[in-house]
Every structure is written in C-alpha cells, then in structure tokens.
Structure 1
Amino acid sequence: MTSSWRALRRRLLTPKTAETSLEKRGFHKKSPAAQERLETVGKTFLTGYAHAVEARTPAEAEEHIEQLPDWLRGFAYEGAGMGLAMLDGLPFGRSDHVHRFLATPTGRKYQYLAYVGIGWAMARLPRFRWPAASSLDPVLAPLVLDGYGFHQAYFHTARYVDGQYQDPAFPWPGGPHGGYANHAIDQGIGRAAWFVRGTDPDLVADLVDAFPARRRADLWSGVGLAATYAAGGGDPVEAERELRTLLARAGQYRGNLAQGSAFAAHARVRADIIPAHSALATWVLCGRTPQEAAALTDQCRPDHQPAGAEPAYELWRQRLADALVPTEV
C-alpha cells in the first residue's frame, strides 16, 4: 500500500481533534489545568489512532508513539487499539491488525489499553464487523465493553449519562455470560464520568449518585480507574484533597473505587511508567503503592473461567474490591 494512500486513509478515518475539546463536548471546566490535562489526553488518543491507521505495520506506529511523553503513551496505545480495530473492521484488506500488535512486546504491555480501544471501534463499526469474542482473552474481553461504554458516554452524553440509557439485550459477547455486558459498559461510563464532570470529585459523585443503586458499583469502579490513570491536573496538595473527597463520597462503594484504582495501577506498572499522579491516587484510594496494588491485582486474577454464573473478569473485580476496602479515609 502506497504512503499516499495510507495518508489519505488517516485523513478519512481520524476524527477531528476539536471533537475532544471540553467546549465541543459540553463537559465541565473545573480549572485551566484540569481542562488542559483532559484535552491533552483526548488529543493524544487521536494521535495514537492516526499513527495506527496510517502505519504499514504496528512497529511503525509504535516508533511514533514512543516519542510521546511517557505518561501519555497509554492513551496513545488505547487510540492505536481503536485504529487497528477499525482497520480490521473494513471490508477490504487484512483483518489481523489488532492481533499482530498484541503479539509484540509492546502490545503485551499495553494489552488492557488495546482491548479498550477495540470497544471504541465497535461503537463506530456495524455490528456484523465486530470481532468475535472467542478471538480475545476470555478473562479480559469485558475490557472491550468498558471501551464501548466510555465512547458512548463521551460522545453521546445526553443519552448515556443524562438519560442513563442501557441496551437491555446488548448482543456482544453473547453466550452464558452475555448478561454481564451492561456491567462492563457501566464501568466505561464511570470512567467517562471523570471527563464529563471535568475531574471535579463532587460533581462526579453527584453524577454517579443520580444513577440507580444497582449500577453504582460498576460506575465507581470506572471512576477509580480514571482518577488514577488520567488524574485531574493541578498541584499535589489539591489533588490529594480531591482524591480524599472522592473516597469519602464513594461511601459503601469504596471497595469498587479502589478496585478501579488498582486496575489503573496494574496497567501503569505493566508498562513500567508510573507518573506521580498515579502513585498518589493509588496510595489514597487503595492504601498501597502502585507496585503493591499491581501485585495484589495479579494475586486476585482467576487463571481460568470457573464454572458458575459470573464471568472470570467479575470474580477478579470482586476479589480485588473485597481485598481493598479501605478502613480509614
């Protein structure tokens, strides 16, 4: 494929950067620092996406992404996951872009982010072009739905956040645990809540509290992940105050908040990039260092899908939440 065609493909498939501005999205602007951080994250996601859809190989996209500031690379690889999944969903060309990337050392480090990116792509592809769940890690497959939920809350906020919409018969992945889909989607909506409310802890908590009680555990999990992985900008003293506010507002869902935070810490440790804001959030929300939270996350993960109604991913989350319920605020 010629470089001119790849450049055209990039222009045709890549969303405009303006789509990630808080002004365009109608999201809350807490402060200039928080706005800059959230918009930088959005732009970086699209940068990774653009490199993936233009590159000849995953390695070529990786060369560009590795030039970015280290704390932002995860967002770029999430975007690359979406871009590669979009290429897989096209009606022409090869359909193994995602799996080629996941087979690389970098792909293995950023597997969680790439899976989330697949969910973003599913939100924009026709359903008959969605990947088969059987082609993915059976424990991690719900991360795809997390990405789908984030996309819908981010781009269709009125319906999914304000209107609290849920598809009662979401078709993916189907099978014996198909009913779990909306739980994983809500985890993505919870992550998006951190962006929608501009990282303001009270506004985020108010948003979650407005949802039915049956949905809040999943939403708080997503909030914990976003607050730890993306954080909110500003100085460390203010950041700690806001994180403690978030922890207090989570109330009975503190274990879920901590579980999401531990997942974020695990992703950071896995990539061997632990920004100060992630370390602070892990300490406040989990009472542990990122390395300790990551080790506990590994210990709690099922090594297979046990018999029963719950998917392994949910058993993993429950075990971790139970182990992390904070005793002090």
Structure 2
Amino acid sequence: MKLKLSILAKATLGLAAEKFPELAAQRVGSHPDMDQTWASFEPVARTLVDSFYLSLDLADHDQLAAAMDRQPAEVRGIAYEGAGMGLMLRDRLFPWRSDLSRFSYGPGLPYRCLIHIGAGLVLARLPGDPMKFIDAQDPLMRYFVADGYGFFDGFFRWADAVTRHFRPRQLTGYAANAYDQGVGRSLWFSCGAHVGRIRDTLSGFPASRQPDLWSGVGLACAYAAGVLDRDAIQELVDAAGPWAAQMATGVAVAAVFRAQSGLSAAPHTDLASEVLWWADARQVAARTAALLPMIAASPAAPDAGTYPRWREAVALQWQQSIVAGTGPGRNRS
C-alpha cells in the first residue's frame, strides 16, 4: 500500500493545531484570557492544519477545491491557505507537477491570495534562497508569499523574529515589508488578540518596521476572529497611533479577501471595517479594489511596484477621510 504523504509530513514536521495555544503561552506567558481567546482561534488553527495534510494526499485539484468548499464559510479561506501549504510542499517533492500554480489559477482562483500566503508558510521551512521563488510569482501574489513567510517566523521562530527582531537578509525590496506584515499578523495569535500585549510586543521593534507590523495586526484583527468588541478594536487603533492608517490598510485587505471569495463578510470583518472605515466590509472591499486598476495602469507602478503603491493609496484614502471628517472617530453620532 502506498504511504500517504500526510503521514510522512506529520512524522517529520509535527504540525498539530492543539500545540498552537501552548506555543502562544510560551511566548507571552499564561494569562486568564488566553484560553477563551484560543477557543475562538481553534477552528482557524484546526482548519489550516487539516487542509494542509489533506492537500498532500489529494492530487486531483477539482476534488481538492470541492473539499475546501465544504468547509464552513467562516474558515473556508483558511482551508485554502492550508491547501497552499500542501501544494507548495508537493511542488518541492514533485516539481514537474506545478501544483501550486495550476491550482491557484484554476479551481482555487478566488482564493489565490490566501493560497500564496500558505505557500509562504512552507517556504520558510525550505532550504535555499526564498527570493528565487518569490520573484518568480505574479507581481501581486509574490508579496503574499513573503507575508506567509513572516507569519511562520513570527509564530514558530519567536525568539529570532520577535525577541531579537531578526529579519532574513535574503528578503530584499518590498518582500521585506511584506514579511513584517506577516510577523505582525502572527502577533494577533501569539498575543491572544490582547491589545496591551500586542502594543508592548510591537513597541520593541524599530520605528521603520512599525507600519508594516501594524498593518499585519489590522489584517488579522479583521480576518481571523478573536475579538467582537468595538471598544477593544478602537483601543487597538489608539495603540497604533501614527500607524493607524497602516492598520486600516490591513483591515481593507482583509475585506478584499472576503469579497474575492464571494462570501458574506464575517461579523468581525464587518466590525473592524466599521470601526476603521465607517463602512461595512463589502463597501470597504469595493473601494479598495477600485484603486488597484488605476495603480496598475500607472507607469509609476510597473510590475513589482503595483502592490506597494496600491497599499499606499489605500492608506492615503483613509488619511484623507480623517482630514475631511468623513472617516472614523470617537465622536461619531
């Protein structure tokens, strides 16, 4: 009988969702609120890991997409992220198949951003120069790979990525910024979605890295659940301070992820969108997506420059709404 790849992966990688809250407690210590928060994170972690192992064994892409689509709407995007992990590993084992590309531009097309984030989670574990793979991707997708790479380091290599503020020297250009966005996203989980712990952890990083780190926090806040408290999200915005526009950008990207998949926004995506943008997630996604064609058509943003300039435009839109008095504020009536 043929040995399943998932069995080999479980034996060599030891990736298990039940270990995640233990890892988080090792990072920031044991706190009374962590158990409750991680109970809300558990479906996310379990879906990611289960989908990873399933994608290693299910070679038929249509069948894989059907399995992902059977997941509850709230975690379906996470399932596709896990599939991206498995397909990335399959490509390293069987490079002639090109599973990641064929799936993300085939049955997985609506979730291609999340699939590439999943690929980055595995890229962080693989030998060689990560930029060789990142630069070979679509100019928009490559930075989601770097984001996934950063998430892996932030969560699983905490001592280096967070305590020592180490960032891989191989990551060049905007890939280094996207890496920090992934590290920031990981802190949402490691810190148990606790505003004070997130703020204190981020305060030790150099100021030059803060915007991207806070952007990652914003994306996780809006996409990954954990908080359904308007005051807590507002407190997080206040903690971001001068980098609130970048946090708002992360929230907007999360709204786009929801819209790309054709799913109704989750309650926490809507709530984060309302607090940061004074609009529901669908409205935020529409505004944010409308900026991309204009940026892509600009001669000032060829290829690799499109994604960072798009994010800059989103942040500027948020800042202009504040100046105009049409954006979020504590005294809205």
- Which TM-score band applies after superposition, normalised by the shorter structure? 0.7 to 0.9
**How many residues of Structure 1 are paired with residues of Structure 2 in the alignment?**
315
Shift in CA distance, 13/78, structure 1 to aligned 2, threshold 3 Å: farther
For residues 1-329 of structure 1, the aligned pairs below 5 Å read 4-6=3-5, 8-9=7-8, 11-12=10-11, 15-18=14-17, 20-25=19-24, 26-28=26-28, 29=31, 30-90=33-93, 92=94, 94-105=96-107, 107-127=108-128, 132-167=133-168, 169-171=169-171, 178-233=172-227, 236=228, 239-273=229-263, 274-301=265-292, 302-303=295-296, 306-307=299-300, 311-325=305-319, 327=322, 328-329=329-330
RMSD: 2.4
Residues 27 and 198, structure 1, Cα contact 8 Å, conserved in 2:
no
The C-alpha deviation readout for 1:114-169, integer Å capped at 9, x for no partner, is 111111111111116876345422123111101000000110111101111123x3
Q: Which runs of 5+ in 1 are unaligned?
A: 172-177
Deviation, 1:47, is 1.0
Residues 77 and 110, structure 1, Cα contact 8 Å, conserved in 2:
yes
The C-alpha deviation readout for 1:159-182, integer Å capped at 9, x for no partner, is 101111123x325xxxxxx32222
Give the TM-score, by structure 1 length.
Answer: 0.88
Residues 27 and 195, structure 1, Cα contact 8 Å, conserved in 2:
no
Residues 218 and 251, structure 2, Cα contact 8 Å, conserved in 1:
yes
Query: C-alpha distance in 2, partners of 1:20/1:285?
Result: 33
Query: C-alpha distance in 2, partners of 1:3/1:265?
Result: 42
Query: C-alpha distance in 2, partners of 1:231/1:213?
Result: 27
Deviation, 1:184, is 1.1
Deviation, 1:95, is 3.4
Q: Which runs of 5+ in 2 are unaligned?
A: 323-328
Deviation, 1:183, is 1.0
Deviation, 1:4, is 4.5
Shift in CA distance, 137/44, structure 1 to aligned 2, threshold 3 Å: same
Between 195-204 and 7-16, the greater mean CA deviation after superposition = 7-16
Query: C-alpha distance in 2, partners of 1:17/1:242?
Result: 30
Deviation, 1:69, is 1.7
Between 16-25 and 59-68, the greater mean CA deviation after superposition = 16-25
Which residue of structure 1 lines up, in the alignment, with residue 325 of structure 2? Answer: none
Residues 15 and 46, structure 1, Cα contact 8 Å, conserved in 2:
no
SS at match of 2:126: coil
Query: C-alpha distance in 2, partners of 1:145/1:12?
Result: 26
SS at match of 2:188: helix
Query: C-alpha distance in 2, partners of 1:129/1:250?
Result: 30
Query: C-alpha distance in 2, partners of 1:86/1:7?
Result: 11
Shift in CA distance, 13/304, structure 1 to aligned 2, threshold 3 Å: farther
Give the TM-score, by structure 2 length.
Answer: 0.87
The C-alpha deviation readout for 1:287-317, integer Å capped at 9, x for no partner, is 2211111112112222258447982211111
Between 122-131 and 249-258, the greater mean CA deviation after superposition = 122-131
Residues 139 and 305, structure 1, Cα contact 8 Å, conserved in 2:
no
SS at match of 2:296: coil
Query: C-alpha distance in 1, partners of 2:23/2:73?
Result: 27
